[in-house]
Amino acid sequence: MKNLVFDINVILDLWLERQPEDQLRLIASLIDGQRSGLARGWIASPSLHVLEYLARAQFKREGADPEEAKDRVKRLLANLLQRLNPLSSFGFHQDAALLAQTDLEDAQIVAAAAELQGPTAIVTNDKRFDTTGTALVQFRPAEVSAWLKQLPAEQLPNEQPLAFVDIKTQQNAIRPALEQQIHRVLHHGQYILGPEVTELEQQLATFTGAQHCISVASGTEALLISLMALDIGPGDEVITTPFTFVATVEVIVLLGATPIFVDIEPDTANIDASLIEAKLSEHTKAILPVSLYGQPADMGAINAIAARHGHLPVIEDAAQSFGASYQGKRSGSLSTIGCTSFFPSKPLGCYGDGGAIFTSDDRLAQACREIRVHGQSARYVHSRIGVGGRMDTLQAAIVLAKLPRFEHEITQRQAVARQYHDLLAMEEQGITQKQKQDIVRALPCSSVAKPLPWPKPDRTSVFAQYTLRVQDRDRLQTKLKEQGIPTAVHYPVPLNEQPAYRHLCCPDCTPVAQQLAREVMSLPMHADLSAVDQQRIVTALKASGV
């Protein structure tokens, strides 16, 4: 969504009815634009008191009772702030603002507006702002509509490259909360295990339905601490998938235990539960499935196997699936322990490293809390071996600012995925030969670039990735890149073929993982991916001649 920063004179025109009725309606509709999805509206903080003075002065000049004028203007400002977001003017803006050609007030507006992400216009009636050195534009109210309809340069075909994951656009939607959270932490100074950490843990526990949430330094740390809490070590075996990010397996090996690789399902790319039992042994200490690409593994089947074999603990690696559900329960709360990551590009990310452990087992929760702080059960009492694995307060504060929008973002991600799917997966539907021919003609890519099937009916995905199976992947990736479309491969080599791990298992033991590693390719995916960009991606895919 584009940004509109309103200058004082436009607001005053509206309040004081200093324009013809149709102009007033136009201004009102622009200010209301965020509600109608037109644009995100802002008012620079330094403008607020100026508005107050000018409106009050006008009413006083006209003979109004000063107290009454003051009260009514306060209500006008409150009304305005229900529609426009206040835009911060920071201390660090002021030096440059003083040097600007225009007056300080205008320079403050420009400096504040330039902090926004994406296309931003100042809406003004008869002023010229000095926007030198910024990407800002300025318009009269009557010109705004045409600008809003214009595609930004990066959306024009073959213009600037798209982002694979856009994590900056989101900031506009949460900026006031984000700033408040960050400044609260700066102010109270409890940078380690501060109140935001506790608040986040409570909110995330409620979100997942788990009894306990223990925030940690990263997704990797979440896995490591969980395995340590389960006393996994040398001689132990942990059943897992070879088709995952390396961290899943790395932590097993770090603790001296042995990963036992089980092949994956071709349709979900998650561990194939039907193959687990054959790999269990007297040394098996845990099962570690990964909910890849955002869709939970078949946790019901896996839990049942674990229960049949001495109640083995099951740790869900939910680094990619936080927010997804399985049979009505949230990923992360589906087994003995769930681990997630707040890496910035994850569906719920922070602005650095972060992660969390979920469990409803009090004893395990206590163990994880102690291991997170050097195995400390009381100050300088180290009851067990631990790590320095806390999530810092600033990162917790950032996740807190993002949390209220998370459900909306999940819905958006699912809508983006649905759109890709409809455009690319039509061949899978039960359709007549004639229709099939039409569709194949319309979308020649679908026979060679095939999306993974839509998530199973008993679960939802948060689409951390939207993944296709393609032939001739290298060529396709190159062609798309030439058109500014980034793609990614998760993962090109199963872990049982990686130099550090291949001695643990033969590559041919997991043929489906081997096959998928050759074929998978993910398309750009994020909650703010616009319909225009998505069309550009699909068109480019078609044009790549596969």
Partner 1 sequence: MQVEALYDHGQLTFNRPIRFATARFPVILEIPDQAVLAEPQPPAQPAAADAAVTDSPDLLAEIRHILGPLSKRRPSVNSAEDKTALTQALAEKHGL
Ligand X SMILES: Cc1ncc(COP(=O)(O)O)c(C=O)c1O
In the three-class reduction of DSSP (H, G, I as helix; E, B as strand; rest coil), residue 144 is classed as helix
CB-wise, 8 or 273, nearer to partner 1?
8
Q: Is the C-alpha dihedral spanning 59, 63, 66, 71 positive or negative? A: negative
Binding piece for ligand X, criterion CB under 6 A, among 64-72, 170-178, 218-226, 363-371? 218-226
Answer for which of 4, 5, 43, 69 binds partner 1 (CB under 8 A) is 69
Task: Give CA–CA dist 48/345, Å, rounded.
Answer: 36
Q: Which amino acid is at 453?
A: P
In the three-class reduction of DSSP (H, G, I as helix; E, B as strand; rest coil), residue 292 is classed as helix
355 is a contact residue toward ligand X (CB under 6 A): yes
Task: Give CA–CA dist 363/9, Å, rounded.
Answer: 62
What values do phi and psi take at 63, rounded to 5? 90, 10
Among candidates 493, 494, 492, 496, which has minimal Cα distance to 260?
496
149 is a contact residue toward partner 1 (CB under 8 A): yes
Using CB distances below 5 to 8 A depending on partner kind, what does residue 95 bind out of partner 1, ligand X, none? none
Instruction: Write down the least CB distance from residue 229 to ligand X, Å.
Output: 17
Strand partners, 522: 467, 488
Q: Which amino acid is at 187?
A: H
Burial class (CB in 10 A: 0-12, 13-18, 19+), 95: exposed
Chain position carrying tokens 């037109």 = 38
Instruction: Write down the least CB distance from residue 450 to partner 1, Å.
Output: 14
270 is a contact residue toward ligand X (CB under 6 A): no
25 is a contact residue toward partner 1 (CB under 8 A): yes
Using CB distances below 5 to 8 A depending on partner kind, what does residue 218 bind out of ligand X, partner 1, none? ligand X
Using CB distances below 5 to 8 A depending on partner kind, what does residue 126 bind out of partner 1, ligand X, none? partner 1
Answer for which of 134, 198, 530, 539 binds partner 1 (CB under 8 A) is 530
Q: How many CB atoms lie within 10 A of CB 473?
A: 19
29 is a contact residue toward partner 1 (CB under 8 A): yes
244 is a contact residue toward ligand X (CB under 6 A): yes
219 is a contact residue toward ligand X (CB under 6 A): yes
Task: Give CA–CA dist 320/294, Å, rounded.
Answer: 5
Q: To which H or E segment does residue 450 belong?
A: strand 449-451
Task: Give CA–CA dist 402/35, Å, rounded.
Answer: 20
Answer for which of 48, 56, 406, 483 binds partner 1 (CB under 8 A) is 56
Using CB distances below 5 to 8 A depending on partner kind, what does residue 244 bind out of ligand X, partner 1, none? ligand X
CB-wise, 16 or 304, nearer to partner 1?
16
Q: How many CA atoms lie within 13 A of 443 on its CB side?
A: 21
Q: How many CA atoms lie within 13 A of 123 on its CB side?
A: 31
Query: Both ends of the chain: CA-CA distance in Å?
Result: 33
Using CB distances below 5 to 8 A depending on partner kind, what does residue 341 bind out of ligand X, partner 1, none? ligand X
How is residue 453 written in tokens? 């099937």
Answer for which of 144, 247, 276, 521 binds ligand X (CB under 6 A) is 247
Task: Give CA–CA dist 392/192, Å, rounded.
Answer: 5
Instruction: Write down the least CB distance from residue 51 to partner 1, Å.
Output: 10
| Strand pairing class (376-378; 355-359) | unpaired
395 is a contact residue toward ligand X (CB under 6 A): no
Task: Give CA–CA dist 99/146, Å, rounded.
Answer: 33
50 is a contact residue toward partner 1 (CB under 8 A): yes
319 is a contact residue toward ligand X (CB under 6 A): yes
The CA angle 148-149-155, to the nearest 5 degrees, is 95
Answer for which of 248, 295, 333, 395 binds ligand X (CB under 6 A) is 248
Instruction: Write down the least CB distance from residue 18 to partner 1, Å.
Output: 5
What values do phi and psi take at 530, rounded to 5? -80, 160
320 is a contact residue toward ligand X (CB under 6 A): yes
CB-wise, 7 or 236, nearer to partner 1?
7
301 is a contact residue toward partner 1 (CB under 8 A): no
Q: How many CA atoms lie within 13 A of 226 on its CB side?
A: 41
218 is a contact residue toward ligand X (CB under 6 A): yes
Contacts of 57 (CB under 8 A, 6+ apart): none
- Binding track, positions 41-70, relative to ligand X; x by CB under 6 A: ------------------------------
181 is a contact residue toward ligand X (CB under 6 A): no
Binding piece for partner 1, criterion CB under 8 A, among 10-18, 211-219, 258-266, 499-507? 10-18
Residues that contact partner 1, how many (by CB under 8 A): 70
Give the length of the chain: 546
Q: Which residues bind partner 1 (CB under 8 A)?
A: 1-2, 8-9, 12-19, 24-26, 28-39, 50, 53-54, 56-59, 62, 64, 68-69, 72, 75-76, 79, 83, 125-127, 144-145, 148-149, 325, 328, 408, 411-412, 414, 421-422, 425-426, 429-432, 435, 457-458, 460, 530-531
**Residue ranges that bind ligand X, judged by CB under 6 A:** 218-220, 244-245, 247-248, 290, 317, 319-320, 341, 343, 353, 355
